[in-house]
Amino acid sequence: MALLPSGLVVPALPYLLVLGLGTLLTTLLLLGFEPPVGKLHVLALLPWMAIGGMAHGFYQIPQPPGLYPEWVGPLFGAPAVYVTTYVVVAAVWLLLILLGTAIGKLDRVVTYLGATGVGVLIVFLGAMVWQGIGPGLSFTPLWPTVAFLISLALTAVIYFLVSLRWTGVVARTGIAGAVVLFAHTFDGVITMIGKDVLEGGERTPIPAMIMDVAGSLPTAPYLGSGWLFLLVKVLLATLVIITFAEYIEERPARGHLLLVIITAVGAGPAVNNFVLFTLG
């Protein structure tokens, strides 16, 4: 059985060169500046992950290149969208580091990074609503919004329970651990709703396999098949938080960067589904 999602398209050579050079240049510059990376960076980068998920969703509707001009569409297909998002975020981060250095507020860069991401995300949300209420696409935000709110509530409850059992873990991971848990809870909840309520398909093999297992159980007529995927996501995210707590204390920058990557694995697909379900 294939392990990669369906719909992956490698862009043409010119796009690969642009993305490759952009990745190399921004990475070398970030390594040169060596910006501090902490708990707040995981939170500050969350809206940028959502932007990446929305950018790919716009590519998929109604079909590639979706809402983009033909020439720019390949930058937002999968897996190119991950690299495109990285290059954009890295470039913004570098510019903010230069700005922070110039005005003597280098410690505020993480705040600027998060605020900039929120601003861009609001623009993307506005574009999604504009497309939804226009001709050609439906606008059905009810269930995606319900999924978002349920995810917030579940995250709060689960993280509180984790703090009761592993108080030291939550003290070390802080807001970064909550962000990781929310990203994967949101992915699990919206996937479950998409499968059991909206009767959508799943293009990623491993989640599809997990839901097939749940669908074969006697509980399927009552609980559906998406609950098992949600449970697996929550358990894995909790395990990551517990496992990384000590590593974050020993190697803060590297540990938090790894949490950023783990968060993106949940947040990107979750927001992508949010767009697809909202625009029907």
Work out the angle at residue 149's Cα, subtended by the Cα atoms of residues 240 and 223, and round it to the nearest 5 degrees.
75
Q: Report d(CA 114, CA 234) in Å as an integer.
A: 25
Is pLDDT at 185 greater than 80 in this prediction?
A: yes
Q: For residue 197, what pLDDT band results from cuts at 50, 70 and 90?
A: very high
One-letter amino acid at 213 equals V
75: burial class by Cβ within 10 Å (0-12, 13-18, 19+)? buried
pLDDT (0 to 100) of residue 167: 95
Is pLDDT at 183 greater than 80 in this prediction?
A: yes
pLDDT (0 to 100) of residue 135: 82
Main-chain dihedrals φ then ψ at residue 81, nearest 5 degrees: -60, -30
Is pLDDT at 68 greater than 50 in this prediction?
A: yes
Mean pLDDT throughout 59-80? 93
pLDDT tens per residue, range 206-215: 999 999 999 9
pTM above 0.75, yes or no: yes
- Return the structure tokens found at 67: 């809402």
Is pLDDT at 233 greater than 80 in this prediction?
A: yes
pLDDT tens per residue, range 85-118: 999 999 999 999 999 999 999 999 999 999 999 9
Q: For residue 57, what pLDDT band results from cuts at 50, 70 and 90?
A: very high
Q: Report d(CA 177, CA 15) in Å as an integer.
A: 35
Which residue ranges make up each domain of the chain?
A: 13-279
